[in-house]
Amino acid sequence: MNEFQEKVINALAEHSPVWIVGGAVRDIILGYEAKDLDLVTSLGTDELENILLAKGFTPQRIGAKFNTVSVFQHNNRIDIVQANDLRQDALKRDFTINAMYLNPLTNQVFDPLQGSGDLEQKVLKTCNNPIITFREDPVRILRMVKFAVQYEMEIERRVWEDAKDLIALLVSVPKERVTAELAEILILPKAEKAVRLLDELDYWEVFIPELARLKGLVQNQYHSLDVWEHTLAVFRNTPEDLFLRLAALFHDIGKWEVASRECYVAGKLSYDIDSYYIEGYKIIGTRGNTELDNKLKNLVGKDIKILGARLDHYPNIVQFKRLLVGETASKGLTLVENGKRHFLNHEKASAELIKNILPRYSFSMFFEGEGRKREEELLYLVEKHMSATLAFMPELRGEKPKRSFRDRAAELVWDICWDGRVYKLQRIHDFLLLWKADYEAGKVHTEQQDIVFEKIFKKMLEIALWQNENIDNITWDIFREYVSNLKLTGPELGEFKNHIRKKALIEGQTNLDDIFLRKAYREFIQAKKRS
């Protein structure tokens, strides 16, 4: 017990017996340090406020329902409630392990509901009828899961069944309270077990159905688990950090939306309301309309055949893969026998779904002052999470790449960390940890693949540290002279400078010279022409 806690207790003890109750007593019995304290006295709220004010504290009334008086100091919080009958007070609490009372002056313990025995036997019970307990405060269902996992306890059968029946009551709870409990659950050392318990309670089905529907979704040759089990494996592999745990939980949530199987579709190509169709099947491109226009625009009205991928859950939509010229086929769609499973562009689909999920909660409250910006970084990370796998697929497959390893690594790191204004080193930290967790949750890898992975991982981190250290060391004097001679101004000047910055840090050349600038300008002009 710290000095602040002792002062508050002693101030109240002058007027009434004081009892520590709740999690603090539980933790003391378990040998843990008690942080925040919950106190019970016979004093009314007005008396409490007057006593605390007289001792120099600044009490606050919290919650009209429970008439709690709270005092704060730095990271310490003490909540005080009135109770004339401890046994009746105990019945109003959530679980028996949290309904033990400790007199801090005498060390006397009052345990009206035998919570110490339940704690010893590792059985989680409600203090009252579970229906009454959960109806009074549905967030106790989430606390039940948290305590069961945190203290490795079995949930009493009746308590579990009633919690499952009443899970939908959480819709009435302010999202801030729900988020606070979920945030604590998701960073538990054994949080995977908690995620599974929430699934068994149908929590995900009710509140995040986008996650629940991943169960049983079969993947491709790069995975040995379905999407749900893979997600939990990635989640298990991440550190106890809320941001990364959320990224892991949601990183593949879009796979349901884009799950597809390889197919052929043949027939007359038509165009209507900005979309292409073949025999009633809408054709979409993984890279947008421009991709399709380049391939199909001049073929409208003609019989064609394409290799594509039919979406599992949107069966009238086919993702375009390749135009098959000169091949004849019967009209309509044909699934490829033993055709590949695809999840094309699932990263983007996942990020879009997360946009819809995040407003249901208030996770920004728990991102250490970064709030909404951190939520935006979450979307960015999920959308980028496949970048390294795709960039280094040749090495991971044991094939010879077309571009140098270092160039691809440096370009990828830059694209991840540079946001157009500042270099965000945190991004590569988050990216690499999620990528590692995702890699380890894939199919069984060979020893050589693991060696290659570690090489890529270390090189990307090394490059990121170098780029971050040297971004302010680029010598711009010769650049200014060069663009002055070119008479570059306005937006074009800014675009060229951005191109130079990127090229310099990718190639590891911060001391600019005439040769570098001339080559960079040619590349810049060519890129503008292509766009």
3-state SS of 489-520? CHHHHHHHHHHHHHHHHHHCCCCCCHHHHHHH
SS3 531: coil
Rounded distance, CA 146 to CA 148, Å? 6
**DSSP state, residue 214:** T
Whether residue 281 is found in the same domain as residue 210: no
Whether residue 117 is found in the same domain as residue 155: no
From the list 308, 300, 295, 305, the residue with the least C-alpha distance to 328 is 305
- If one counts the domains in the chain, the total is 4
Sequence-distant (6+) residues with CB within 8 A of 392 are 401, 405, 408, 409, 452, 456
Q: Is 398 exposed, middle or buried (0-12, 13-18, 19+ CB in 10 A)?
A: exposed
Residue 31 belongs to some domain of the structure = yes
Q: Are 173 and 134 in contact (CB under 8 A)?
A: no
Residue 386 belongs to some domain of the structure = no
Whether residue 219 is found in the same domain as residue 297: no
CA quadruple 302, 307, 312, 314: dihedral, nearest 10: -20
Whether residue 66 is found in the same domain as residue 49: yes
Rounded distance, CA 224 to CA 443, Å? 5
232-289 pLDDT, tens digit per residue, is: 999 999 999 999 999 999 999 999 999 999 999 999 999 998 899 999 999 998 777 7
From the list 292, 289, 293, 297, the residue with the least C-alpha distance to 308 is 292
Helices and strands in the chain: count of H runs, count of E runs: 26, 16
Rounded distance, CA 209 to CA 523, Å? 47
> What confidence score (pLDDT) does residue 63 get?
66
From the list 296, 220, 297, the residue with the least C-alpha distance to 265 is 296
> What confidence score (pLDDT) does residue 530 get?
81
Whether residue 267 is found in the same domain as residue 243: no
All residue ranges of the chain with pLDDT < 50 are none
Residue 469 belongs to some domain of the structure = no
Whether residue 183 is found in the same domain as residue 115: no
Rounded distance, CA 295 to CA 284, Å? 12
Rounded distance, CA 337 to CA 484, Å? 62
Whether residue 50 is found in the same domain as residue 100: yes
Rounded distance, CA 102 to CA 62, Å? 23
3-state SS of 18-76? CEEECHHHHHHHHCCCCCCEEEEECCCHHHHHHHHHHCCCCCEEECCCCCEEEEEECCE
**DSSP state, residue 156:** P
Q: Which of 208, 224, 254 is the last residue of a domain?
A: 254
192-243 pLDDT, tens digit per residue, is: 999 999 999 999 999 999 999 999 999 887 788 899 999 999 999 999 999 9
Q: Is 499 exposed, middle or buried (0-12, 13-18, 19+ CB in 10 A)?
A: middle
Residue 459 belongs to some domain of the structure = no
Residue 363 belongs to some domain of the structure = no
Whether residue 208 is found in the same domain as residue 248: yes
502-520 pLDDT, tens digit per residue, is: 999 999 999 999 999 999 9
The structure tokens listed for 510 are 């911060």
Rounded distance, CA 396 to CA 406, Å? 15
Residue 283 belongs to some domain of the structure = yes
Whether residue 162 is found in the same domain as residue 208: yes
Domain with 173 in it: what CATH number? 1.10.3090.10
Q: Which of 86, 121, 156 is the last residue of a domain?
A: 121
> What confidence score (pLDDT) does residue 67 get?
76
Q: Which of 93, 121, 149 is the last residue of a domain?
A: 121
C-alpha angle with apex 347: 346 to 352, nearest 5 degrees? 95
Domain with 306 in it: what CATH number? 2.40.50
**DSSP state, residue 13:** H
Residue 439 belongs to some domain of the structure = no
What is the model's pTM? 0.92
SS3 309: strand
Domain with 28 in it: what CATH number? 3.30.460.10
Whether residue 147 is found in the same domain as residue 239: yes
7-30 pLDDT, tens digit per residue, is: 999 999 999 999 999 999 999 999
Whether residue 237 is found in the same domain as residue 276: no
Whether residue 57 is found in the same domain as residue 96: yes
Residue 356 belongs to some domain of the structure = no
Structural domain span for residue 511: 477-530
